[in-house]
A and B are shown apart, each in its own frame.
Chain A
Amino acid sequence: MSVPILEVVDLHAAYGRIEVLRGVDLAVPRGAVMALLGPNGAGKSTLVKVISGQKEATSGDIHLAGVHVRKARSDELARVGLCTIPEGRSVFPNLTVEENLRLMSYAGVPAPAILDTAYSYFPRLHERRDQLAGTMSGGEQQMLAMSRALASDPALLLLDELSMGLAPLIVDELYETVARIAESGVSILCIEQFARTALRVSDYAAVMSGGRIVATGEPGEILDTMADVILGGAA
């Protein structure tokens, strides 16, 4: 079996004295889409922060395509092909749409190519290219953010709560983009609160709780496993 694109081994991280990641083990196979599910406060976002180099781990290892990267900085990782779309609107609100897109060229793909891809996939962005990103709707901002994943040709994409605060139709549209990016061969680790939405596009799923991965498997399997884990049930 080939080397996984992302491998996390016994990863620990803490805020102050409170440990948030307590020994996370996770592997994302090359070319696969993995959904990371779990309740609020399970440590999912922290895991993304640590993998992307935004937060230091206290111990453990992270390998990207077999290379040890735990001490790497987030900008270095971004330039070697790790694309992270963090929680919330990950655009620069006081730059225009086009300026936002041009900055994406830091990851390696030249600006004209990025503009081409983004505008042809999201014609809406072309209409608004001279508008300040912060004045666009939440959905449009998220399209702009997704353009980076779409156009910068990453090896691994980390998505954190893409759907946060967005209307259903827009979430669907964004996940179509995710599916398309996956088709082009990009590996994806995707945190999503709407389990079904995420599982629809995933090959694998992992469930996180209390700072650990408590289950991994194929989407169908996970839904069954989860049922055992779930206490009670709402609605």
Chain B
Amino acid sequence: MSSLFAYTLLGLFTGAAYAIMASGLVLTYTTTRVFNIAHGAFGMLLSFVFWDFTQRQGVPTWLALILVLGVVAPAIGWFIQRFVTRGLGEGPVSVALVVTLGMLVALIGLAQQLWPPEPRALLPFYAGTSWNVGGTYVTAHQLITLLCAIAVAFGLYLLLSRTRIGTAMRASVDNPELLKLFGGKPDRVAALSWMIGISLAALGGILLAPVVLLDYYALTLLVINAYAAAMIGKLKSLPMTFAGAMILGILESYAVAYLPKDGILNSVRAVIPALFLFVIVVAMPQAQLRIGQVKGIVTAPLPTMRRSLGSGAGLLVVAFVLINAVAPNQVLLIGVAATYAIVMLSLVLLTGYGGHVSLAQFTFAGIGALTYAKLDEPNLFGLAVAALVAAGAGALVALPVLRLTGLYLALSTMAFAVLMDKVIFNADFAFKFNGTLAAQRLSILGMRIGSDTSYVWFMVLAFVVLALGLLLLRRGALGRLLIAMRDSPSACGTLGLDMRWFRVGLFALSAGIAGLAGGLFAGLRGTVGAADFLYFQSLLVLLLAVVFGATSVTGALLGGTALMLLPEFQASAPEMAGLLFVVIGVGAVLLGRDPNGLANYLFKLGRWTGGKVAPGLEGRLQGLLPRGGGAEPAATGDVVLEADVESTMVIEKVG
């Protein structure tokens, strides 16, 4: 028999496992409108549990399977639906994404904490047993995978079409409000779909673990495969999802067989799902403009210009003192914090103001760094080009999803980040595999900012300038437009705003700011490599931005500092490394619904203690307003009054 047949068969087996995983993802998404980006991470965690049961506790395989798939996974699914994701589907996509992303990072941390890194292997079922089918060997594990997929497909078909609760699950896809009027119990429907969904993630993970290795990250990334397969069925149709999974499996198998074993094409194999995803997203039909407001989006707070300028100047002074006070090796850390803070500023614009989520923000910084280092123009021109190239990359990522909604944009950025991390950054024209590039610090008007202290202070200055610029935009037309688009997309459309291009522009601007940070970072370090811009870093950037407040410049500053400190803590207490991820993840889960983040609490404290500073100004402003009630946004000197009101409203609604 031909090798084509063999590879097709092989692809079908992998595809079958993807299908199991993807069907769980589709099930939870369609019934609860929450896209679980942690789907693969749940599969990962439960594979570790399965490993623990069978290898460490010595539970028989069949019993371990029953325990994991029938008890642990459903219990986790129930818990997550009941306490974490309930009501998230009705809110903005960005919140659901941040919360599930928080779970992803928390799960990775939890797995590291419970099962510290060491070589582990999950053996295939009936290892060593195989049959010769048409000249190619089929292992028992592969056969079991295929049988499981068939059983899952059949079981889901029976559930969804033959039982009342299954019908109710489909009904809640159509119209959950109406289901309630029928007397149906939407919470029970949601709980069941999460229980089954997590169980399917576990089964997929356990079946794939012998193939992709029992690894925190590899199994977590399977969400991209599942997502790519699910996209074929437009995140709705289960049969199409199964078909998509099979096609993906076969494509991967062919890639192994027929792509050259050297050069950049070799590394392409690892990112077939991500590429597959892009192709499908480009082919998706246009989303309809929605009428009506998305519930629960929180307005970003807005400080007065005077306060902003004062804080900026204060920060520069503090940074100056700090840079000169700390030990020389710690000066660089302040520069790192400034880098992160600038990247988070780009998220303030994109996520905090614009309501879009990017899971590739640090990758854009990487593009900036790469450009800066390659260009070898250590001056403002080089920095500007770095920012422009990153902005161009941002536009390129946003363009294909121009016609689609926020969810697709966010997931495409994740695929993009993985693609850059695994292929482009490692390519010979970039940093090279395991390689680094040298970068010089920049000169301005012929003056080279060479010393650590002056360069770091310059970075802080860059942060302050960018932050003030951002606030200026927010106060002006851009801020108004963003609010208008949130309040009524259809009114904006009928007034002549092309929101799709506006979104691309916003995304490009945000990527450009991140790219600028990357350029500065390259100069700070002197040498940069692919290892500095792993996709996982982008996830941490987003989560910490949200935890500390993705809607405020202050949040970006605090978040940047925290992200700089994170590896320091982890290095000083390696046994706590995983736990820190858990803390960040849980923090994002808790604060995801309130993107004003911890910074907001700081403002409250500030208002409470420093309320006497600005009354004169406030009084004058109120005198100018004919109807001067205290609730007008932006007009009074109050920093976060409006945000306060709205965010509590959201929490009540969801909780």
Chain A interface residues toward B at CB < 8 A: 52-54, 73-75, 78-79, 84, 86, 90-95, 99, 102-108, 111, 148
CB distance from A24 to the nearest CB of B (A): 21
Q: A102-B164, A105-B164 are in contact. Are A94 and B180 (CB under 8 A)?
A: no
Report the bound CA distance from A3 to B367 in whole Å.
73
Q: Report whether B174 and A95 are in contact in the complex, using a CB–CB cutoff of 8 Å.
A: yes
The complex places the Cα of A192 from the Cα of B25 at a distance, in Å, of 43
Cα A84 to Cα B180 with chains together (Å):
10
Q: Report 8 cross-chain contacts, Cβ distance below 8 Å, ordered by A residue.
A: A53-B180, A75-B185, A78-B180, A78-B182, A86-B181, A95-B167, A103-B182, A106-B168
Q: Which one, B161, B173, B177, B184, contacts A103 given CB within 8 A?
A: B184
User: In the bound complex, do residue A75 and residue B164 qualify as a contact, i.e. CB atoms below 8 Å apart?
Assistant: no
Alpha-carbon distance between A92 and B171 when the two chains are bound, in angstroms: 6
Partner of A78, one of B167, B173, B175, B183: B183
Which residue from chain A places its CB closest to the CB of B236 in the assembled complex? A94
On whether A78 and B178 interact (CB within 8 A), knowing A92-B171, A94-B170, the answer reads no
- B368 contacts the other chain (CB 8 A): no
Chain A nearest CB from B654 CB (Å) reads 14
- Most central of B168, B170, B173, B180 by chain A CB within 10 Å: B180
Tell me which residues across on chain A come within 8 A of B179, comparing CB atoms.
Answer: 75, 92, 103
The answer to whether A107 and B171 touch across the interface, beta carbons within 8 angstroms, is no
Q: Which residues of B contact A74 (CB under 8 A)?
A: 177, 180-181
Q: How many residues on chain B are close to A (CB under 8 Å)?
A: 19
In the complex, are the beta carbons of B181 and A103 less than 8 A apart? no
Interface readout for B144-175 with A: 1 if CB under 8 Å, 0 if not?
A: 00000000000000000100100110110111
User: What mask results when residues 55 to 89 of chain B are scored 1 for a CB within 8 Å of chain A, else 0?
Assistant: 00000000000000000000000000000000000
Listed residue (A92, A99, A108) with the most chain B CB atoms within 10 angstroms of its CB = A92
- The distance from the CB of B617 to the nearest CB of chain A, in whole angstroms, is 27
Given the complex of chains A and B, what is the CA–CA distance between A82 and B178 in angstroms? Answer: 13
B186 within 8 A of A: yes
Q: Are A106 and B183 in contact (CB under 8 A)?
A: yes
B174 near A93 (CB under 8 angstroms)?
Answer: yes
Q: Is the CB of B180 within 8 A of A73?
A: yes
B168 proximity list for chain A (CB < 8 A):
103, 106
Known: A99-B167, A102-B167, A105-B164. A92 touches B184 (CB 8 A): no
For A95, list chain B residues within 8 Å (CB): 167, 170-171, 174
Per CB-CB distance, the 3 closest pairs between chain A and chain B, nearest first, are A78-B183, A106-B183, A75-B180
Per the bound structure, the CA–CA distance linking A26 and B626 in Å amounts to 40
Name the A residues within 8 Å of B183 (CB-CB): 75, 78-79, 106-108
* Known interface pairs A78-B180, A93-B174; 18 further A-B residue pairs with C-beta atoms within 8 A, sorted by A's residue number: A53-B180, A74-B180, A74-B181, A79-B183, A84-B181, A86-B178, A92-B170, A92-B178, A94-B170, A95-B171, A95-B174, A99-B167, A103-B167, A103-B171, A103-B179, A106-B164, A106-B184, A107-B183
Task: Note all chain A residues with C-beta closer than 8 A to B178.
Answer: 86, 90-92
B184 surroundings in chain A (CB, below 8 A)? 75, 103, 106
B170 contact set on A, CB distance < 8 A: 92, 94-95, 99
Number of A-B residue pairs, CB cutoff 8 Å, is 68
**C-alpha gap A108/B184 in the complex (Å):** 10
Give the residues in chain A near B177, CB-CB below 8 Å. Answer: 54, 74
B161 to chain A: which residues have CB within 8 Å?
Answer: 99
Quick one: which of A91, A99, A108, A148 has the most chain B CB within 10 A? A99
Q: What separation, in Å, do the CA atoms of A94 and B164 have in the docked complex?
A: 15
**Residues on A with beta carbons closer than 8 Å to the beta carbon of B180:** 53-54, 73-75, 78
Cβ 8 A contact of B174, one of A53, A78, A92:
A92
B182 adjacent to A106 (CB under 8 Å): yes
The contact of B181 among A54, A93, A111, by CB within 8 Å, is: A54
Task: Tell me the smallest distance from the CB of A91 to a CB of chain B, in Å.
Answer: 8
Report the bound CA distance from A65 to B405 in whole Å. Answer: 46
A176 to B351, CA, bound (A): 54
Contact partners of A106 in chain B: CB under 8 A: 164, 168, 182-185
Residues of A within 8 A of B167 (CB): 95, 99, 102-103
Tell me how far the C-beta of B520 lies from the nearest C-beta in chain A, rounded to whole angstroms: 44
* CA A106 to CA B175, docked complex, whole Å: 16
A52 touches B181 (CB 8 A): yes
- A92 and B170 CA atoms in complex are apart in Å by 9
With beta carbons under 8 angstroms apart, the residue of A53, A54, A104 that contacts B182 is A104
* Residues of the B chain whose Cβ atoms lie less than 8 Å from the Cβ of A75: 179-186
The distance from the CB of A13 to the nearest CB of chain B, in whole angstroms, is 15
Cβ of A90: which chain B residues have Cβ within 8 Å of it? Answer: 178, 181
Nearest chain B residue, comparing its CB with the CB of A49: B177
Q: Given known contacts A103-B164, A105-B164, is B182 in contact with A148 (CB within 8 Å)? A: yes
Give Cα distance in the complex from A73 to B87, angstroms: 14
Q: Which residue of A lies closest to B181 (CB)?
A: A84
List chain A residues, Cβ under 8 A from B182.
Answer: 75, 78, 103-104, 106-107, 148
Chain B contacts of A84 at CB under 8 A? Answer: 181
**Minimum Cβ distance to chain A for residue B293 (Å):** 9
> Which one of B168, B181, B186 has the highest number of Cβ atoms from chain A below 10 Å of its Cβ?
B181
**With A75-B186, A103-B164 in contact, is A94–B173 under 8 Å at CB?**
yes
- Bound form: Cα–Cα A1–B493 in Å: 56
Inter-chain CA distance A86–B182, complex, in Å, is 11
Shortest beta-carbon distance from A82 to chain B in Å: 9
Taken together as a complex, chains A and B put the C-alpha atoms of A66 and B162 apart, in Å, by 39
B94: shortest Cβ distance to chain A, in Å? 21
Which chain A residues lie closer than 8 Å to B185 at the CB level?
75, 106
Closest to A85 in B: B181
Q: How far is the CB of B87 from chain A (nearest CB, A)?
A: 13
Q: Which residue of A lies closest to B178 (CB)?
A: A90
Residue of B nearest to A158 (CB): B181
Q: Mark B174-202, 1 if CB is under 8 A from A, else 0.
A: 11011111111110000000000000000
Cβ of A73: which chain B residues have Cβ within 8 Å of it? 180
CA distance A7 to B224 in the complex (A): 54
How far does the Cβ of A131 sit from chain B's closest Cβ, in whole Å? 15
Give bound CA distance, A29 to B168, whole Å: 34
Bound-state Cα–Cα, A94 to B170, Å: 8
A99 to B162, CA, bound (A): 9
Give, as a whole number of angstroms, the nearest-CB distance from B140 to chain A: 39
Which residues of B are found within 8 Å of A54, using beta-carbon distances? 177, 180-181
CB distance from B157 to the nearest CB of A (A): 14
Is A94 a contact partner of B174 (Cβ separation < 8 A)?
yes
For A78, the closest partner residue in chain B by CB is B183
Q: In the complex, A216 Cα to B506 Cα: how many Å? A: 56
> What are the residues of chain A within 8 A of B181 when measuring CB–CB?
52, 54, 74-75, 78, 84, 86, 90
Question: Nearest residue in A to B185 (C-beta to C-beta)?
Answer: A75
User: Least Cβ distance of A49 to chain B in Å?
Assistant: 10
Chain B residues closer than 8 Å to A148, beta-carbon distance: 182
How many Å lie between the Cα of A8 and that of B28 in the bound state? 39
The smallest beta-carbon distance between B218 and chain A, in angstroms, is 37
| Alpha-carbon distance A94/B30, docked complex (angstroms) | 13
Q: Which residues of B contact A86 (CB under 8 A)?
A: 178, 181
Please give the distance in Å from A78's CB to the nearest CB on chain B.
Answer: 4
Highest count of chain A CB atoms <10 Å: which of B171, B175, B180, B182 = B182
CB distance from A183 to the nearest CB of B (A): 24
Between B178, B180, B183, B184, the greatest number of chain A beta carbons within 10 A of the residue's beta carbon is seen for B183
On chain B, the residues within 8 Å of A105 by CB distance are 164
**Complex Cα gap A93–B164 (Å):** 17
Please, how many angstroms separate the alpha-carbon atoms of A73 and B161 in the complex? 27
When C-beta atoms are compared, the residue in chain A nearest to B293 turns out to be A16
Q: A78 — which chain B residues lie within 8 A by C-beta?
A: 180-183
For chain B residues 319-366, which have a beta carbon within 8 Å of chain A? Answer: none
A111 contacts across to B, CB distance below 8 A: 164
